Structure 1
Amino acid sequence: MPHMNEGAGAATTDATVKFRLAAIQMVSTPRVDENLAVADRLLAEAAAQGARLAVLPEYFAVMGMRERDKLALREPDGRGVIQDFLREAARRHGLWLVGGSLPLAASHPDKVLNTCLVFNPQGERVARYDKIHLFGFEQNGERYDESASIEAGRQPVAFEAPCGRVGLSICYDLRFPELYRRLGVVSLIVVPAAFTETTGRAHWEVLLRARAIENQCYVLAAAQGGQHENGRETHGNSLLIDPWGVTLARRDKGEGVVVGDLDPARLADVRASLPALQHRVM
């Protein structure tokens, strides 16, 4: 069963009212203070457009020049510059804030946890998810091995918000549908990501749409999207997808905000007309 974190059951759900969501797209740099300033500006823009829940991308606070740069920036659980920013930003902007990912201290001294923290509009932490699946890829001189610097998480996590039950995942997790099944029935899946241009161009949208269709829920994906100072090119295309697999909103490249509504009536209609979740036998 998915783990429920601190305060996760405190929200009440209104099954009749549309709930506005926002995905924040960034092109993060190696400089934490610069990235936090950009994130804060985009969160303010999302809140001004009526968003009540916002998702930052993976590695929103730093995209280092080298994979191991994140080790110097890791924070102990519960305190640190990045965690303080997320807590205060959620409160200041009145948002349920899914904090992309940040490096937390791991049990292994030479690794970090790639962690997504969630804060409610009062600035209280309600969930923590450590990325389970670690990206590895090598093709035509392009190579990534997250396991060299990241310690894998073990526990699926979902939390309760006013829009319903929300399942957490990070980037490469998207390729593993069994993770989402472990979350149970959810209204929304969030996917902070930094998909490469190579893999994103081939697989990003089709995987997101598949997760929405098979789980009959909304999917909100917040991506890194552009050319980074470390030479990495990320795919962008932050998306909001409905339970029928229809793409409702998108941003191709560059920093910005994707806004759209989670409609409980649409969710109910899809599940009533095609009750696939009730037909599962495994």
Structure 2
Amino acid sequence: MSADTRRIALLQMTTGIDPAANASAMARAAQEAAGEGAVMLFTPEMSGLLDRDRARGSVHVVPEAESPVLAEVRNAAAKAGIWVHIGSLAVKGATDESGGTRWANRAFVITPAGEIAARYDKIHMFDVDLATGETWRESAAYQPGEAVVTVETPLGCLGLAICYDIRFPALFEALGQRKCDIIAIPAAFTVPTGRAHWHLMQRARAVEASAFIVSAAQVGRHEDGRETYGHSLVVDPWGDVVLDMGEQGGIGFAEIDLARIAEVRAQVPSLANRRPIPTSWAP
């Protein structure tokens, strides 16, 4: 392995309705990933709880400081000495002006000391009626985030996004302008949208940002009845797929060659060549 190469691990999960079981799965994965030489473990969106019955799931949604899932993963990261990117957890947000409280779909980057290095709240809410009859209204429970977030890691500058964010180029324009080396897009993609768009959009985002994309995903049939697409991916800055985990749960590993980023940016300097869009082009 060259000096520019880093090993990473992705956990492809079928997260259920028991947060304790989900936390234990992540803790075991952190230990296994570290044992296999990975410097960082990536987990999917909603790693701690996936329950479409919000009344049932709400008893487990607590403020960040009270989250047993977050606490267990932080302890596991410190014990294993590994960075962990928790794709996201549902946490209770602050009380708003009306006295109500909405949740946040929040990603965490944990250091090998168990400290929180960064947080990112999902910006774009998945409100949709699919042809399959599935209806999703994230905005009914979740407060959208407002900040673009990057953090320095052993992989370089890591940019954070979550699932549905992938469909909104402006976020990735911002991450590209920050010269991210790697962008994490943890997900719980539905099967119909996954089959149609998952690989296409992941590769496109890698090319336009000239960065590695790491997307740990939920997979299979979950306890709450939903089905997710899987295919956790690592895509290099040229758009080539380095890892595709298919439809099986478990841990996958990939080698990230950081020198590849500079090579691609030299061949296709789109980040350097970008110009502001003239206001006269606006609709």
| TM-score, normalised via structure 1 length | 0.91
SS class of match (1:118):
strand
Distance 1:255 1:43, change over 3 A: farther
State the partner residue of 2:203: 209
Unpaired stretches in structure 2, ≥5 consecutive residues: 277-283
Is 1:238 the equivalent of 2:232?
yes
Indicate which of 257, 263, 270 corresponds to 1:269. Answer: 263
Instruction: Summarize the alignment of residues 68-79 of structure 1 with structure 2, pairs less than 5 Å apart.
Output: 68-79=55-66
Shift in Å at residue 157 of structure 1? 0.4
| Counterpart residue number, 2:141 | 149
Once the 2 structures are TM-superposed, how far is the Cα of residue 16 of structure 1 from its aligned partner? 4.5
Cα deviation, residue 19, structure 1: 1.2
Q: Which residue number corresponds to residue 171 of structure 2?
A: 179
Task: Tell me which residue corresponds to 1:94.
Answer: 81
Task: For residue 17 of structure 1, report the CA deviation from its aligned partner.
Answer: 2.2
Give how far 1:117 is off. 1.1
Partners of 2:255 and 2:69 in 1: how far apart? 28
Choose which of 23, 26, 33 in structure 2 pairs with 1:39: 26
Does the residue aligned with 2:229 lie in a helix, a strand or coil? coil
Paired AA for residue 268 in structure 1: A
| 1:113 corresponding residue in structure 2 | 104
- Structure 1 gaps, min length 5: 1-14
The CA deviation at 1:65 is 4.6
| 1:252 paired to 2:246 | yes
Give 1:68 shift: 4.5
Matched, 1:199 2:189: no
Contact 1:169 1:192 in 2 (8 A): yes
Identity of aligned residues (%): 38
Task: Measure how far apart 1:268 and its partner are.
Answer: 1.2
**2:43 is aligned with 1:56:** yes
Q: Answer yes or no: is 1:82 the counterpart of 2:74.
A: no
* SS, match of residue 58 in structure 2: helix
Output the amino acid matched with 1:276.
S
RMSD: 1.5
Alpha-carbon separation, structure 2, partners of 1:75 and 1:95:
25
Decide whether aligned partners of structure 1 residues 238 and 59 sit closer, same or farther in structure 2, where only a CA change above 3 A counts: same
CA distance in 2, matches of 1:186, 1:171: 18
Higher-Rg structure is: 2
